[in-house]
Amino acid sequence: MTTKEVKDTVQAFITTSVVLHKAGFDGVELHAAHGYLISQFLNPRTNERTDEYGGSFENRTRFITEIVQGVKAATPKEFSIGVKLNSVDFGRRRQGGASEKEGTENQFTNQVDQHLDEAVQVAVLLEQLGVDFIEVSGGSYESFATGLLDGKVPANEATAAAAATERTKKREAHFAIFAERISKALTSTKVILTGGFVSATAMADAVKPTTTLTDSTSQKPHIDMVGIGRAICTEPDLPNKIMSGTVTGAIRLPKTPGGFMDDVFICGGNIRRMAFEKQPVWCIPRLLVSSEHVGYAMGYSGVAMHRLKHIFS
């Protein structure tokens, strides 16, 4: 992108926010995670620009700064602005992973600390800009594609992360440790934790104040809300069901390597069904005869094949 194209894109974000406000939306969430455009600007590994939008921390955050400032200037004060932020997006892989022997939880935590510093800085910057909430997520479509290609997480990364992630798996919240760390640095901006929630118990536990601070003078970690994504694609009324006590959690979707079954086939197809005012489905027989699911899978496969050809060309 040329510098002019970057500035035009900033304006496009602003214009879209104005349109959404006029359409009756209460706010917008800027997607600065998962390898999308704003994430690419923030990440020093992907941002190799030499103009005012690359290089230093100030320059790499200029893109999202100008977007937030522009949206706030063009919309009423009550119009909410949030940001979906990657928990570990800064310098990942750039400094290399752990060696085969570095498999302890402490060593993995040290790596997390290094990668998280700039994420915390970005969160503080967003609060200073007046962002109302930050949704903490993680991962990117780049790593998702890599997982599809080799079918597994690299052994060195898996060994280093195994001990530290076991407890996270049990409590479902994939990025809890990052959300808690970011929340300690904030005073007014709300923190939303998303990723992996399926049970009401885990959701309730996530918003309970923690008392495991090593420094009694530190800001108390807080998670203000939880975000639910994939489960909503199958049960759009899940929050109401949980709050009413009708259910204790979401339907457990079948898992496949690379997340194709749950992430792509079931969720993508159900989004299509709801767009056509049809009820979501999740049992295998219904999925196989759903034209929306079959069509979505075929379309996604075409995009994936095009991407693979590009990678190997």
pLDDT at 29 over 60: yes
Taking the complete model, does pTM exceed 0.85, yes or no?
A: no
Give the model's confidence band at 265: pLDDT under 50 very low, under 70 low, under 90 confident, else very high: confident
CA 282 to chain CA centroid, nearest Å: 24
Q: Name which of 21-25, 175-179, 265-269, 283-287 the model is least confident about.
A: 175-179
Q: What is the pLDDT of residue 195?
A: 81
Q: Identify the CA nearest to 134 among candidates 142, 145, 144, 126.
A: 126
Answer positive or negative: Cα dihedral of 260, 193, 89, 42. positive
CA 47 to chain CA centroid, nearest Å: 19
Determine the topology of domain 3-227 in CATH: TIM Barrel (3.20.20)
Tens digit of each residue's pLDDT (9 = 90 or more) over 114-147: 567 888 999 999 999 999 999 988 655 554 443 3
Q: What is the pLDDT of residue 140?
A: 53
289's CB contacts (< 8 A; 6+ apart) are none
Hey, where are the domains in the chain? 3-227, 251-313
Q: What is the pLDDT of residue 172?
A: 67
Mean pLDDT of the chain: 80
Tens digit of each residue's pLDDT (9 = 90 or more) over 227-253: 998 899 999 999 999 999 999 999 887
Q: What is the pLDDT of residue 177?
A: 77
Greatest alpha-carbon pair distance for the chain in Å reads 58
Angle between helices 176-184 and 105-128 (to 10 degrees): 50
Answer positive or negative: Cα dihedral of 227, 233, 238, 239. positive
- Cα torsion 234, 239, 245, 247 to 10°: value is 20
Q: Name which of 206-215, 250-259, 274-283 the model is least confident about.
A: 206-215
Q: What is the pLDDT of residue 206?
A: 87
Higher-pLDDT residue of 82 and 264 is 82
Tens digit of each residue's pLDDT (9 = 90 or more) over 72-114: 999 999 999 999 998 665 544 443 433 344 444 455 455 555 5
Give the model's confidence band at 160: pLDDT under 50 very low, under 70 low, under 90 confident, else very high: very low
